[in-house]
Amino acid sequence: MKTHSQICILFMMLAFCTYCQGQNKTTLLKENAASGPKEVIMPQAPNKLVRSIRQDSKGNIWLASAKGVFRYDGKSFTNVTDKASSAGFFSVLEDRKGNFWFSSAGSGVYYYDGKSFKNYTINNGLPGNGVTCIYEDKAGNIWFGTESGASRYDGKSFRTFKMKETLAPPGAGDSVHVSTFESELWRHNDINAIIEDKAGKLWFGTKGDVYVYDGKTFTAVKNTNGKSFTNVGTITEDKKGNIWLGGKDGLWRYDGHMFTNISPNFINYIYEDKTGNIWTTSQSANDHDWTLSRYDAKSLTDKAPVVTEIKSKYKGNKGILYGIMEANDGSIWLGSGDGVSRYDGSTITELKNAAGRQ
């Protein structure tokens, strides 16, 4: 059986990134992963496509994967949804009451109180059964980003929100995806990401534009040059109130007045750690390889922000990287196409199910 190759750490200057009023140079630093990826075999560990990772109020780590939702208690993994659903999952949310919500690729959302499940679908008021993201706002409402619009659950019922109004083909049921009828408008209601900023406004990343909702109106966000952001898949607000957008058009920072392009690469996920560093998973437009990047908190507003890059062990799309999460012990957990890894600042450890070894 072949062993995994070492993760490569690059020593080079990144290409110039476009700055909204000129050009930004990004300084790339080296960080050694002690002996390359270390592998630890753990029964029941997810071995395929971990999209997002969360740590709950009790310290357990939850992973949404194509093979179910897994819980790691510090010693072992448990597939929590194994008997409840065979669906692939996108995200996990622990609400303020300590209950869990899991979004699925085509079976709606699952509510889990620690003992039993309840499944919500279009039959209960969701606008679509493909649910990508979940977010709890300051008022305690749970928001779901679906393929057919956003949905807000107030504890009793679901309310659908559309960024743009679309019409389904005459005689078609609600379950029919409108992309077959309106090739452009449906994209604006296919939700990738939801956050609420410090001012109480909600940001929605869609397959179309980015929208801000003030409680009454959805407004499309425009770049400094007047152009829209397309297919933004991840949005984060940092501790200083800057909004970070990532997707097809690269990595962007909005300070409330202007947008700055930090990286031109396709961005899959953005995460801010406890010290204010910004982490991303991205794919290079040049070699199509996937990279975990850390932008140093102290240099984020500099003309030459400092970034450390760790390449995926695989070349091209086989090395796809997804969600990022900093655990309570400071380690960085990373989802990928073939499972989950943990990075302690010097060594990357892959937590592998024996059945998933390559």
What is the identity of the amino acid at 348? I
Q: Average pLDDT, whole number, for the chain?
A: 85
The count of structural domains within the chain is 1
User: Looking at the domain assignment, is residue 7 inside a domain?
Assistant: no
User: Looking at the domain assignment, is residue 71 inside a domain?
Assistant: yes
pLDDT band at 296 (very low <50, low <70, confident <90, very high): very high
Return the sign of the alpha-carbon dihedral for residues 224, 188, 249, 310.
positive
Question: Which CATH number does the domain housing residue 86 bear?
Answer: 2.130.10.10
Tokens of 184: 């452009």
Provide the domain limits for residue 146: 17-356
Identify the DSSP state of 299: G
Q: Is 168 a residue whose pLDDT tops 80?
A: no
Confidence at residue 10, expressed as pLDDT on a 0 to 100 scale: 26
Burial code (b: 16+ CB inside 10 Å, e: under 16) for 302-323 equals: eeebbbbbbbbbbeeeebbbbb
Q: Is 46 a residue whose pLDDT tops 80?
A: yes
Q: Is 158 a residue whose pLDDT tops 70?
A: yes
User: Looking at the domain assignment, is residue 6 inside a domain?
Assistant: no
Average pLDDT over residues 31-58: 80
Average pLDDT over residues 229-240: 96
Confidence at residue 189, expressed as pLDDT on a 0 to 100 scale: 93
- Looking at beta carbons, which pairs linking 236-244 to residues 24 or more positions away fall under 8 Å? 236/195, 236/270, 236/271, 236/272, 236/278, 237/195, 237/197, 237/198, 238/272, 238/276, 238/278, 238/300, 239/272, 239/276, 240/276, 241/197, 241/198, 242/300, 243/197, 243/203, 244/270, 244/272, 244/278
Tokens of 86: 């065979």
Identify the DSSP state of 131: E
User: Looking at the domain assignment, is residue 3 inside a domain?
Assistant: no
The Cα–Cα gap between 173 and 180 comes to 13
Q: Is 44 a residue whose pLDDT tops 60?
A: yes
Contacts of 22 (CB under 8 A, 6+ apart): none
Confidence at residue 353, expressed as pLDDT on a 0 to 100 scale: 85
Confidence at residue 173, expressed as pLDDT on a 0 to 100 scale: 43
Share of the chain above pLDDT 90, in %: 69
pLDDT band at 29 (very low <50, low <70, confident <90, very high): low
Q: What is the pTM of this model?
A: 0.86
Average pLDDT over residues 201-227: 95
The Cα–Cα gap between 5 and 314 comes to 8
User: Looking at the domain assignment, is residue 292 inside a domain?
Assistant: yes
Q: Is 30 a residue whose pLDDT tops 60?
A: no
Give 310's strand partners: 292
Tokens of 54: 């969360």
User: Looking at the domain assignment, is residue 307 inside a domain?
Assistant: yes
94-138 pLDDT, tens digit per residue, is 999 999 999 999 999 999 999 999 999 999 999 999 999 999 999
Q: Is 32 a residue whose pLDDT tops 50?
A: no
**Residue 188 burial (CB count, 10 A):** 23
User: Looking at the domain assignment, is residue 143 inside a domain?
Assistant: yes
User: Looking at the domain assignment, is residue 12 inside a domain?
Assistant: no
Q: Is 281 a residue whose pLDDT tops 70?
A: yes
